[in-house]
Amino acid sequence: MSVAWTAMRIWLGVMWIQAGTAKLWGAENPAFLHNNGAGVAGFAAHGAAAYSWWGSFLHTFVVPNASWIAVIVAFSEFAFGVALALGLFTRLAALGSLALLFTYIMSGTASVCGFYALFALVILATWRTSSWIGVDGLISGYRQRRNAKLALHNVVVTDDMINAVIDAESLDGSVSSSKSDHLSVR
């Protein structure tokens, strides 16, 4: 199943990359990075908000601050896409994706947001397996190997262990003169 979760993660990442690219360098660029965020201001001012309190938030906060909110939206979509496609910071990217989708759905966009949110929830629920094939998986594997190596170096030798080795050797007929003959110092 990890291949299916990985495919969902990569697909959602590509969708976010496409949306972010359109806003950063494509056809939607003038509405987001120029003209004081006219795309965000227009949508917030004329969209059909899900609740009246959300509509008030859009009109009192988003519309006056549309220029910097539009920049954040454009870069966030692209960054979430890259992170999800690469499997880097998978949980954080899925959570950010859900937060962005929440604002879109609350603002009256019902297009693909629900479907994207479903994918983000599945990715969030299966983040351990959906990020095996990705940067998070590489980092996790490195940490596990490093921790196993450190654990081997931190083995504590007790007197009981030394006595057990001496006793075992004495049964073989090769008795050593002292405990220090059995210890090696690094």
Q: Please report, for the chain, the start and end positions of each structural domain, with discontinuous segments joined by +.
A: 2-130, 138-182
pLDDT for res 186:
46
For the chain, give the percent of residues with pLDDT over 70: 87
* Exposure string for 64-83, b = 16+ CB within 10 A, e = fewer: ebbbebbbebbebbbbbbbb
130 membership: H or E segment, kind and range: helix 127-130
Q: Which residue has the higher pLDDT, 46 or 97?
A: 97
User: What digits encode the pLDDT tens for the residues 106-135?
Assistant: 988 778 888 899 999 998 888 777 777 888
Residue type, 14: V
Give the C-alpha separation, 32 to 27, whole Å: 10
Question: Diameter of the chain by CA atoms?
Answer: 93
pLDDT category of residue 178 using cuts at 50, 70 and 90:
low
User: What digits encode the pLDDT tens for the residues 63-79?
Assistant: 999 999 999 999 999 99
Query: What's 78-116 look like in SS3?
Result: HHHHHHHHHCCCHHHHHHHHHHHHHHHHHCCCCCCHHHH
Give the C-alpha separation, 161 to 137, whole Å: 38
Average pLDDT over residues 50-74: 92
- The pTM of this model reads 0.75
DSSP 140-176: HHHHHHHHHHHHHHTPPPPHHHHHHHHHHHHHHT---
pLDDT for res 156:
66
Residue type, 160: D
Residue 93 has a CB neighbour count (10 Å cut-off) of 30
For the chain, give the percent of residues with pLDDT over 90: 40
Q: Give the chain's radius of gyration (CA, Å).
A: 28
Phi, psi of 111 (to 5 degrees): -50, -100
